[in-house]
Amino acid sequence: MNSALSKAINGEKVPDKQAKGALADAVGKLKNLGGRISKAKEKSEAVADAVIATAEMQGAAFGASFAEGYFGEEKMDIGPVDLRVGGGLLVGGYGLYQSMTGKGGSHSLAIGNGLLAIGLGRVGRNAGKALAEKRDKKGQEQPQGAAAVAPPPPAQLPSAQGDFGDLVRDIFLTPNASGAEPVDRAAPERHRPSRFIRAS
């Protein structure tokens, strides 16, 4: 059959029976080639769609970040809501609706995902920063180990002026001459005379 087909292609005369077989073979090869072409076309379309969706998502993320850098972070909020998160939810929701109704929606989903990625990235960064500040503040308030515990302040004697103050100080600071506590308080043991008045 291949020889009959090659003869027919070259313009040589081929018997009718061989010509019909060569024609059927040629049609089969064309169908096979057409199937390969359609598969290649489908694959190239899928790759093109993926590239376009990636470009749209990254473009939306770049645009949202550029706007934050140009206008300032505080301009990205309306009340407590980040504009990019709200916009991403709206555009992505519209794309999801279009996909459910069979009207495409892949472009809207890609743009919405790009906006959401930047907005949620900012929310996550701020949450992590607040948690780190809270941890650092808690660490500074609680002392670590026994070395960080401050000793209590020493007891202060009341300040007294004049001779009476000196007398009180002498009474408090006079040591017991024998160093032993008397057994009977009614009959104190004898001690050497001292210029200090004993507290006992």
Identify the pLDDT of residue 38. Answer: 78
pLDDT digits (tens, 9 = 90+) for 95-119: 999 989 888 888 899 999 999 999 8
Identify the pLDDT of residue 58. Answer: 92
With cut-offs at 50, 70 and 90, classify the pLDDT of residue 198. Answer: low
In whole angstroms, how large is the CA radius of gyration of the chain?
A: 48
With cut-offs at 50, 70 and 90, classify the pLDDT of residue 6. Answer: low
Identify the pLDDT of residue 26. Answer: 73
Count the alpha carbons within 13 Å of 75 in the hemisphere toward its beta carbon.
Answer: 9
Average pLDDT of the chain, as a whole number: 75
End-to-end CA distance of the chain: 137
Q: What percentage of the chain reaches a pLDDT higher than 70?
A: 60
Tokens of 95: 């794309």
Of 24-33, 78-87, 133-142, 157-166, which range is least confident? 157-166
Strand partners, 78: 81
Residue whose token pair is 């009474």: 171
